[in-house]
Structure 1
Amino acid sequence: MVSTVQNTDVKQKDADHAVVVAVTSRAVFNSRAEDDSDVYGESVAFPLLQSLQKINERLLEENPAESLLFDVILITTDRQQQQQSSCIISSTKHHGLEVGRFCFSNEEDFTESLLKNSVQLFLSTDGNEASQVSQKGVLSALLDENSASCPSEQLRVLLCGDTLSQSDASLALLSRQAAQNFSAQLGKMRQRFGMFDSPLWISVVTSHGGREACSDSLRALRSHGVSVDEAYCLAGAPRGPILSLLRPHFLLRESFSGLQD
């Protein structure tokens, strides 16, 4: 059973042009009410939603008729949280988060609800959920506790270049198409802003290989209209220090395999 509630406090996005991002409610809220109220506290995805909202605000400042915007869906699969749906909705409004829709679903049907809502990126703290969604051809990424310390004024996306230039026969065609579509839309958004003071920052890192591997990754991205702000070639060095320096909201990896045509 799937129930979708539209947030009447938020202007709905153009369904033909918006970039639909679904985030699990447990990643946004910690499900513990603040001061015995009906408002939940913040969790790891809270800064991410604020950064998506900042991009929308900046885009509309530049062009009030802009339709290439992030459309955020909050999805709940936890039965207890479904029973507390009013608290989730009131918490979203209390914190001023721009969420267009609330989707309440059981664990068996939640992937179908993502497809029904044309979700282009699914974000969760649950690895099983992310894997299940990927198998359905929806681009997904994992969030962790480090996401809670990410900036809220700028969305930082890190692409793993090791898979950008490599073919992966085991990856479904739908997953490749989803990755290409999302990266192209992300690239279009980035082009809306100048080189400096952009609310969207795209980086790519290659853990293996030398300059050629990094160059291949950059060419693959550029062929889909994506110009990155930073590129790092680690040549076998650990990726941890770069991650702690860049502090990306999320890392997109396997779903970008076979990005080249």
Structure 2
Amino acid sequence: WGDSKALYDSLLSKRPRPPKPQHAITVAVSSRALFDLVEERRIYEEQGVEKYVQYQQQNENVTLKPGPAFCFVKALEHVNTRLCELYPNEEERFDIVLMTNNHAQVGVRLINSIKHYGKGLTIERFCMTGGKSPVGYLTAYLTNLYLSADSEKVQEAIEAGIASATMFTSNKDISYSDTELRVAFDGDAVLFSDESEQIVKEQGLDRFFEHEQLNENKPLAQGPLKGFLEDLGKLQKKFYAKNERLNCPIRTFLVTARSAASSGARVLKTLRSWGLEIDEALFLAGAPKGPILGKIRPHIFFDDQMFHIEGAQKLGTIAAHIPHGIAQKYQKS
């Protein structure tokens, strides 16, 4: 009995415990963002919820294939592993929550699929709401970022003040870094407010350039993803404190349609005023983002405009749409 208990205790101690929610950077991911549930979704829409649940139960030992957020989540887990190597008792790290409106009967297949992928996918917290929207639980789980394949739920979460994005699968099968989390952000209406984008849409580029130069030293207001960039920056500094700057497993990118000469200074000065660093800033002056993103190969790229999302998809980038700002009005019109 003594040997058996020792083995059991050792197994428990090796399994990482989730950080305390008040210290964690909580990323809530829907089941359709984490896994490929296209066929299951078709059954649900065409045959109804009962047939859907029955299908899931009959296939609960069939592992689900990765969805658009899968590589991103694995990269978050890798950062956690590196953090715990340097800081064994670190609580300020990523905590992944599976946030889904699936019924509890479907949970076994989700659990089995997560277990199949081993220690690279450690998800202990589940929220299965049985057909109801899970958005109301995001605040209770202290969510820092919510990723879903359902644009309506993402819109609901954005309106509730929670950083959220709709996930889109890339149209090409490409490889991503296993050792470095790469996150790419658009600027206006993503990291920053849509103040400047409003001028572009309503008054044109010439007025925009004039406005940005006049306000170069006035920081932009924050956008919905500013907080997540801040979270990434806090973790980066933990690696820098251990002399790991050159081996940091987090790298951030600003990929913006702005021109550097005419409107780039305000962006960089805004980040400086916030005390935030960005590892690479790419000012494209209106050029397509897809080719640059294909070179970066981020685990996720956040943008507020669907034509940038679609251009990124075509060239193999996993993109996440932020339904925020004036661009949404023009996309719907």
TM-score bin, normalised by smaller chain:
0.7 to 0.9
Match of 2:216 in 1: none
Shift in CA distance, 198/131, structure 1 to aligned 2, threshold 3 Å:
same
CA distance in 2, matches of 1:203, 1:237: 16
Q: Give the whole-Å Cα distance in 1 for the aligned partners of 2:23 and 2:60.
A: 40
How many angstroms apart in 1 are the aligned matches of 2:173 and 2:135? 25
Could you tell me which of 232, 251, 274 is aligned with 1:224?
A: 274
Q: Gaps (5+ residues) in structure 1?
A: 1-7, 170-174
- Greater fraction strand: 1
Question: Retained in 2: the 8 A contact 1:123–1:130?
Answer: yes
Q: Percent identity?
A: 31
Gaps of 5+ in 2: 1-11, 41-55, 197-220, 305-321, 326-333
Residue number in structure 1 paired with 2:110: 88
Kept in 1: contact 2:255–2:281 (CA 8 A): yes
8 Å Cα contact 1:214-1:233 kept in structure 2: yes
From 224, 228, 232, the counterpart of 1:186 = 232
CA-CA distance at 1:115 after TM superposition: 1.4
Aligned length: 244
Compared with structure 1, are the counterparts of its residues 53 and 37 closer, same or farther at alpha carbon in structure 2 (3 Å cutoff)?
A: same
Q: Deviations over 1:210-231 (max 9, x none)?
A: 3353232222223333211111
Match of 1:121, SS state, is strand
Q: Does 1:24 align with 2:26?
A: no
**After TM superposition, which residue ranges in structure 1, 4 or more long, deviate above 6 angstroms?**
none
Paired with 1:252 and 1:42, the residues of 2 have a C-alpha distance of 20
Q: Deviations over 1:93-114 (max 9, x none)?
A: 2212111301101454311011
Structure having the higher helix fraction is: 2
What are the equivalent positions in structure 2 for 1:192-211 lying under 5 Å apart?
Answer: 192-193=238-239, 194-211=244-261
Residues 29, 46 of structure 1: 8 Å contact kept: yes
Does 1 or 2 have the higher relative contact order (CA < 8 Å, sep 6+)? 1
State the shift of 1:205 in Å.
1.7
Note closer, same or farther for the CA distance 1:153–1:107 as it changes in structure 2 (3 Å cut): farther
2:153 maps to 129
TM-score (norm 1): 0.80
Secondary structure, counterpart of 1:120 in structure 2: strand
Work out the CA distance in 2 between the residues paired with 1:250 and 1:106.
Answer: 28
Higher deviation after alignment, 90-99 or 37-46: 37-46
Counterpart amino acid of 2:254? Answer: V
Q: TM-score, normalised by structure 2?
A: 0.64
